[in-house]
Structure 1
C-alpha cells in the first residue's frame, strides 16, 4: 500500500518513504511507528498499544518513546511544537492527523467507468492481506446499521494490530456497502488475498413479568 500525504509517499510494501522524487532515509523502528499510526489514523492510539505494536510489549521509557516520535515527526517534516501530522493527546495517546490518500484507491474501480485502466487488478502484497466488508444488517431495523458498522470497524482495528497482516482501510472497504458484489472481484479490485463478509442480527432484550 502507498499512502500519500503532503509531498510524501509512504510505501509499506517496499518499506520506503519518498519526498517527491527523493528517497528519505528512515530506520526500521521509526518506519514501523509511522506505519502503525498512519494505518490507524482514524482513531487515537494509546501509548501502551503503540509500545506493544512496535516494541512487542517490551518495557520502554516515556523518554525513548518521545525520542522515536520526534524522529518520526522530523522525518516527515513535522515537529513536536507544530504537530501538524502527528498529534499528541495528553493522557490519551497519539494520532496521525494529516490528510492521507491511499494510492490504490485511485486505480481501483469502485464505480462504473469507461476507463479501461480502472479495471486493472491491483498487485497483491506478498504478506497475507484481507479486506473486511460491511456486514449486512439482518435485524430489519435501520437504526441497527451503526451496530453492524461498528462491529466491522472493531474487527478491522483488531486485525490491523498484526504487523504481518495487510489490512485494507475501512474507508476503502465501505465503498462496497449496500452493493451486490462478487467476492473474487472485490479481492481483485482491492488487491487482497482474503475477503471477510458477514451478517449480524441484534435482538432487543425482552422483559418478562410474572403474575401472582
Structure 2
C-alpha cells in the first residue's frame, strides 16, 4: 500500500518513505510507527495501539515511545514544539496531521517501477566501493598534515578488514587532497559510490577530527561525526581515531545499503542487494521477517554461489528459528545452522561474520568452549566487532566470570550504541550480575532489556526470573505471561539448554524461580 500525506509518500510494500521522489532514511521501528499513524491519518492513535502495532505488545517504556516519536518527527521535518506533522494529544495519544490540500490516500501498487527508468546506480550489480581521502588540516602546521594522512591511512587499513567492502588504496585516493576537491569528479575517477572526507585541527590539548560519509551518486550525506582525543600520545591518537571512525562507518554503510536495496524491485535484485534486504528483515526478530530474510539470503546465494555472507546469513536465520522457537523441528534447524556456517567458512575463512556464525552453530550444538574459540577468532579478525564481543561476553558469563565479561558488554555497547541487538547486550549485563549473586542489579538490567525494541521470549524469561528472585512477584508474573504470549510452548528446558550456566547452584535457583512462575520443565 501507498499512503500520501503532506509532502510525503509512504510505500509499505517496499518499505520506503520519500519526499519529492527522494528517499528519507528511517530505522525500521520508526518506519512502523509512521505507518501506524498513516493508516489512521487524521485519527488519534493511543499509546496502547502503538505498542500493539509497532512493538508487538512488548513491555515498552514511555521514554522509548517518546524517542521513537521524536525520530519520526525528525524524519518528517517536524519537532515537538511545532508539531506540524505529528500532534501529541496529552493523555490520548498521537495524530498524523494533514494539510488542507492533502487527504489520506491509500492505493494498491498497480505495477512495479520500470527498471529502464530507474537510477542505474540503484540497479548496479556491485558491492559498495569507498575511497578515504586525506584529512584536510585546518592550520598550516606540518605535523597536523602528517597526522591527517596517518589517520586516513589507518582508516583504510581498518576498512580493508571488511571483505564485503571494496576500499580504494591510498596511492589512488591520496591524489585528491585539499579544500577545493570536486567530490563528484573524485568519485568518478576512483570509481566509488562512497567518499569519506574530513578535517583535522588541534584545539588546546585535543586533536579534533570532523568526518563526513557521502553517497556521491545521490549527493547525500549518509553520516557525519566529530571525534576528539588528547594530544599527549600521537601514535595512540592515530590508531584510536581510525578505529572509532571505521567502527562507526560499517553499520552506517550497511544500513544505507539495506535501505537502497528495499527500493529495488525484487526481480532486479543482485546478490548484494538481496543480501542487504535480508539483513533489514533479519534484524526485526519476528518469525515472518526471519522467513523473509532467509528467502533473500537464499536468493543472494543462488545469484552468487560464492557469496560467503549469504550463507552466513542463512545460518543466522536458522539459528533464530531454533533459538526463538519459530519452528518446531529444532534439530533440523541446528543442522542447517551448521551446514550454512560451514559453507560460508569454506568460501571466506577470514570474514568475521562467517567466523561468528561458526561460533553460534557450536553454541547451539552444546559446545560453548569451541564456540568461544570461533567467536574470539572473529574478534581477532575485527577487534571492533561489537556483535562478536557481546557473544563472547555472553558465553564467558555462562562460564561464571561476570565481572570481566560485564566489561566486554560495556565495550560492545560503546562500539555500537544503536545496535539492533542492544536488548541482548543489556540482558547479558543482567546475567553478569546474576552469576555474581547481585540479583537486585540483575533485575534492573533485565527490566531495561525487556523494555528495548526487538526483545524476544528469552529476554522476557530473564526478566521474569530476575524479578522473582528479588520478590517482585507481580512484575515477574507479567514478564512470564508475556514470555508465553510470544512463545506458548516456552519451557524451562528452552532456557536451560540455551543458557548453560556452569554453576549448578545458580541453575537450580533459576529453575526454581521459573517453576514458581508456572513454566513447565519441558524436554
TM tier, shorter chain? 0.3 to 0.5
Q: So what's the TM-score if we normalise by structure 2? A: 0.20
Normalized per residue, the structure richer in helix is: 2
Which structure's relative contact order is higher, taking Cα pairs within 8 Å and 6+ residues apart? 1
Task: Return the structure number with greater strand share.
Answer: 1
Q: Considering only CA atoms, is the larger Rg found in Structure 1 or Structure 2? A: 2
